[in-house]
Structure formats: C-alpha cells, structure tokens
C-alpha cells in the first residue's frame, strides 16, 4: 500500500533525526497536514501540502517561537552626584527574572556617568547611554544628567562656596581661547577627572608673583595635575596696576613659564553672572596681598585652603592629594630665602629678630630691611596718645606686612573682629594707627625680602 510505504519512510526519517511524527496521507493529488515536535522543546509548526505521484508531496510552513527578551528602564534623569539603580528583567516562558546583578554593564561616557551592577552614578552634565548584556541579549537605557551649581555667597572667602565666576576668553597654554568658569569646572565632563582647582592670583608688576609662578608652582605643576588638580592663573593687574585682561594674562604667563600647565585669565574680563565685573577678584575676595593662592574642592566648590592665612607657602601636593580633609592648618613649605637688599639696607639696631631684641623708637623715621632670615624685625614704639605708622617699601621687590604684637601669645594681637591687628595689603606700603605704647613686628610675606622706611607720627 502506498500509505504504508509512506509511513515507514517517515518513521525512518524520524529515527534518523530524532523526531516523532504523526502523519497521514492519501494517494495521488491529496495530502493532509501533520505536526512535528523538535526534540529540544523548540518551535512547533503546522503545515499543509499537496502532492502528485506515489507518496510524494510539496509543503509550506511557518512558525513563531517563544524567545527570551530583556526589559528595564529605557530612560532616566539624574543630577550630578546622584545615583540610580536600573532594573533589568529577563522575560522568558511567561515569567520574569531580575538579572541586573548578573548582566554585563557598560557606559558610553565614563566622564558623565559610571555604572556597576546597574547602579549608575552621575559625574557631569550631559547625555549618556548605559547598556546591559545578558547571555546573547542586549538592552540600553538613555540618561540625561543635569547639574546645578551649589548655593554661594557673592564673595570669595575661606570655607565658602566660590561664586561661579567666568571668563569668556580664557586661554589654554597654547593660546587657544575658550569659555571657562567655575560652573563649567564643576559641571562639564571635560573636568570630571579633576578633584580640585588651584587658583593663583598675581599681578604683572609683582616680583614675588613672578618668582612664585616660576620657582614654586610651575616646577610642580605636572605632579599636581597627576594628583587631580587643575591650575588657574588669574592676573589681577597689569604692569601699570590697571585690571589685567586675559590677553595680558596669557602673554605675561607665557613670558614666565612658556606653555607650562594652567589656564590663563585676567580680572578685567571677569564675569559675575551675566555681566563683566572688572576687578571682581581683587575687590570681592578680601585679597590682602600678591601672590595669593586658593585651593577649591570640585565636589562642592568650597575654598578649602587660602595662602593668606599662613606665613609661608602651603604644601599644595598634600592638599590636592586629599581635598576632602580639613586644610584649615595645612603644612607649610618654607621657600629658599633670597635677599633683595643692598649691603647698607639693614637697620642699625639689627639684630632685632625676637621680642627681647626689639628696638625702642619714638616719633621719627627709621631705615631698615628684611634682608636675612628670620624674615621679621621687632620695634617697641614708646609714644603716648595716638600715633600712626607708615611702612614704605616696593611691593614689586618684596611684600612686607606689619602687625601689633601680643607679647603673651607671641603672635599678632587679635582684634574685636577676630582678625589680626595690623596692615597686610597688596599695596606699596602699609599703614596703621594706635593709641599708646605697642610692640610692632615687620615681616616678609611668605618669606619675602625688601628694604623699607618706617615712619612714626604723633596724631
């Protein structure tokens, strides 16, 4: 029988291919469909066919299987510093399984966001794609990272968030102009690998500023950058004491350190908000001398170290290596002393380097100099009633300060406002007024050296 022959043939094929078959057929020109089950539990198909001849047929079939799929968060929104745990579910056989912990995760830009086990951490402003792979399945989620600058006061001071100052024509060391500000430093992915920014404020006319840039900061700039710091050179004034432009800052800095690391900007071009506010850094920071160095922590844009609070140079390497630490009293680095005095500039009363050696003076004019270490001179002013003191020197040679000294504490007298009593500015000369006898200490800022003239007048 033809039907029997066809059945035996199909059974043989089933054995050969590991199939089971239930078939039926009729003679010439007619056939009925059958069902075939795959041994791995895969797709099942049904088909119909018609054939001619003995046991021969042609058939067509189509089938749809049940394959696994991944599902999860297709989009997410974060603020810089926030985290989110993305979901990743495997749908298979009518059920769902959480496979987030077992998937392989990747980010399109680690500067903007990183991911581990589906936990996304936002680092900078921008768009990012987070992808997951589980077995041979893939899934992607698109994220938008926003950035809001921390709340701030409209002043630059230790322990506070610095205002989001900006310079539209900042310069890279090669002269390339770009828009840079503290907001972009905090928010943009370009600076995601930075943990702090060192701000060195100087002036073109300031000799100690040039020496600090050439001899202290630039020689260690590469090491500081490797520790996560960005360097910003702010030129506050030009050679004529006028607010310096960013063009001047670039030219002046290039003359001193060539293409050494660090962004160059001028205080004449400082933006505070939407407007240019020339001399903002000088006038809104309580700046007392040049050079001044600040260290700002990127994580919250807080000013964590201020050189004006110390007698010598701060150890920048220690600070930028751990910007989360308390640097209210950072270790100091005493620079090599360089005398800027002539052979006859020392005062006649030298040595007067300690309180017990203080020269007693009255109304009059006295020539002297910070010409050797230790870099300070003591004077005991024996004048009754009110009097004034004027300390005349050239800041471009060396920055000098003067303080009323507390003999019990062996330190500067502390006033009612909590500050040190004295005069410490960035000008050529210091001035103060007092009532009755007092002990004065004239000192070189950061170990500076300069001849001076001290004048006491009765008021």
CA distance 180 to 134: 42
Instruction: Name the class of domain 69-146.
Output: mainly beta
DSSP designation for 101: T
Mean pLDDT of 97-105: 95
Average per-residue pLDDT for the chain: 85
Q: Is the pLDDT of residue 220 over 80?
A: yes
pLDDT category of residue 108 using cuts at 50, 70 and 90: very high
pLDDT category of residue 399 using cuts at 50, 70 and 90: confident
| Percent of the chain scoring above 70 in pLDDT | 84
DSSP designation for 243: B
- Angle at Cα 420 formed by Cα 418 and Cα 423, nearest 5°? 135
Q: What is the pTM of this model?
A: 0.65
166-333 topology per CATH: Glutaredoxin (3.40.30)
Q: Is the pLDDT of residue 310 over 90?
A: no
CA distance 203 to 193: 29
pLDDT category of residue 299 using cuts at 50, 70 and 90: very high
pLDDT of residue 67: 61
Which of 3-12, 113-122, 282-291 holds the top average pLDDT? 113-122
Mean pLDDT of 307-322: 87
Instruction: Name the class of domain 355-458.
Output: mainly beta
- Which of these ranges, 20-34, 106-120, 158-172, 405-419, has the smallest mean pLDDT? 20-34
Work out the burial of residue 416: count CB atoms within 10 Å of its CB; fewer than 13 is exposed, 13-18 middle, 19 or more buried. exposed
pLDDT of residue 83: 97
Q: Is the pLDDT of residue 62 over 70?
A: no
Domain boundaries, the chain: 2-62, 69-146, 166-333, 355-458
Element (H, E) at 202: strand 196-203
pLDDT category of residue 189 using cuts at 50, 70 and 90: very high
Please check whether the two domains, 69-146 and 355-458, share a CATH topology. Answer: no
Q: Is the pLDDT of residue 60 over 50?
A: no
Q: Is the pLDDT of residue 415 over 60?
A: yes
Q: Is the pLDDT of residue 42 over 80?
A: no
Q: Is the pLDDT of residue 20 over 70?
A: no
- Which of these ranges, 35-39, 73-77, 111-115, 235-239, has the smallest mean pLDDT? 35-39
Determine phi and psi for 218, rounding to 5 degrees. Answer: -60, -40
CA distance 332 to 140: 51
> H helices within 322-397, ranges in order?
none
Q: Is the pLDDT of residue 271 over 90?
A: yes
Give the three-class secondary structure for 337.
Answer: coil
């Amino acid at each position: 029988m033809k039907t029997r022959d066809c059945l035996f043939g199909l059974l043989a094929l089933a054995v050969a291919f590991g199939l089971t078959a239930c078939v039926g057929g009729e003679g010439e020109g007619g056939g009925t469909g059958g069902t075939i089950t795959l041994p791995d539990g895969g797709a099942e198909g049904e088909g119909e066919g018609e054939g001619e001849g003995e046991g021969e047929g042609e058939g067509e079939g189509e089938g749809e299987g049940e394959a696994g799929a991944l599902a999860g968060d297709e989009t997410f929104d974060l603020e810089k510093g926030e985290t989110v745990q993305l979901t990743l579910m495997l749908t298979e056989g009518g059920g769902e399984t959480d496979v987030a912990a077992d998937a392989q995760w990747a980010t399109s830009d680690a500067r903007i966001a990183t991911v581990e086990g589906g936990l996304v951490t936002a680092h900078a402003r921008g768009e990012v794609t987070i992808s997951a792979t589980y077995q041979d399945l893939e899934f992607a989620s698109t994220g938008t990272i926003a950035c809001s600058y921390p709340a701030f006061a409209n002043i630059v001071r230790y322990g506070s968030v610095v205002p989001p100052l900006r310079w539209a024509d900042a310069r890279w060391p090669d002269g390339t102009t770009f828009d840079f500000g503290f907001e972009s430093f905090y928010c943009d992915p370009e600076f995601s690998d930075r943990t702090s920014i060192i701000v060195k404020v100087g002036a073109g006319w300031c000799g100690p500023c040039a020496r600090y840039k050439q001899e202290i900061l630039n020689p260690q700039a590469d090491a500081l950058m490797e520790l996560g710091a960005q360097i910003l050179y702010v030129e506050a004034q030009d050679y004529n004491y006028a607010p310096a432009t960013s063009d001047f800052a670039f030219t002046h800095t290039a003359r001193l350190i060539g293409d050494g690391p660090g962004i160059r900007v001028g205080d004449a071009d400082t933006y505070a908000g939407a407007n240019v506010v020339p001399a903002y850094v000088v006038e809104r920071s309580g700046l007392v001398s040049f050079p001044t160095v600040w260290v700002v922590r990127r994580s919250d844009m807080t000013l964590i170290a201020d050189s004006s609070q110390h007698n010598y140079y701060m150890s920048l390497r220690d600070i930028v290596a751990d910007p989360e630490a308390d640097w209210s009293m950072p270790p100091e680095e005493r620079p090599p002393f360089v005398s800027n005095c002539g052979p006859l500039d020392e005062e006649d009363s030298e040595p007067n380097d300690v309180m017990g050696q203080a020269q007693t003076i009255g109304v009059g004019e006295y020539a002297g100099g910070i010409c050797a270490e230790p870099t300070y001179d003591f004077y005991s002013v024996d004048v009754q009633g009110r009097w004034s003191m004027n300390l005349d020197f050239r800041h471009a040679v060396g920055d000098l300060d003067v303080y009323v000294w507390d003999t019990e504490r062996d330190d500067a007298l502390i006033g009612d406002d909590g500050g040190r009593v004295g005069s410490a500015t960035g000008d050529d000369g210091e001035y103060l007024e007092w009532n009755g006898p007092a002990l004065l200490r004239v000192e070189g800022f950061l170990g500076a050296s300069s001849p001076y003239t001290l004048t006491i007048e009765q008021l």
